[in-house]
Amino acid sequence: MLEGSQVQSNPQAFTVRGRISPHIKQVNLGWRITDDVGVVDKKLHVVIITRNRFSHRWYNSVMPTKLTHIDDSGHAHMVDVGDKPETERLAIAQGEVMMKKETLGLIRAGAIKKGDVLTVAQIAGIAAAKRTSDLIPLCHPLPITHIDVSLTLDDNIPGVHIKATVKTTGKTGVEMEALTAVAVAALTIYDMAKAAEKTMKIQNIRLTEKHGGRSGDVVNQ
């Protein structure tokens, strides 16, 4: 294993979610390269020291050089995860449905003809997460232990903000389950409200957090 580190003593050089934090006193940036599994794995170690708190986390700092769903012949295949250990895994995905303020007002007032938009979209997102392997051909069926789909009316979009959190204990992660939950919840919102507006936009669907597994943590706010 190769390791290195660098102390960043200027707290103004470090931002949290795009904003400079005035409470950070010191940031240590370190790196580690391992080849324990025959694959070079480079990660970034972030240590944050504030006035009354210490925290650290390893992050992936480089993209992998090989797509796991493509074999040596260039053909698509399902990844064999049989030799991987079962670990706790979590994924969070988010997205938005942008609409006119008048359409948002109808949803808030419960005046959409098809019924309760948010409840139906929430159930659709949960159901979709459980059926991800039926929808995405190379996904593994997983024993999901928890799904939470939350929908928030947001005047700043204007529209609906969707967040899905999925957990499992297994050999592979639940990123696709979280993303599928958000996508189907967004499509359901469109279906429920399209009589009022057909120009709604489904946008910004992305994975925002992933924890557990060999590839490490990902935070993508």
Cβ neighbours, 10 Å, residue 144: 17
Q: Strand 87-98 relative to strand 41-50: parallel, antiparallel, unpaired?
A: unpaired
Catalytic residue among 148, 154, 191, 217: 191
191 as an active site residue: the answer is yes
13 exposure class (CB count in 10 Å sphere: 0-12, 13-18, 19+): exposed
How far CA 75 is from CA of 78, 141, 157, in Å, comes to 10, 21, 41
Among 88, 187, 83, smallest CA distance to 142 is for 88
Active site residues: 191
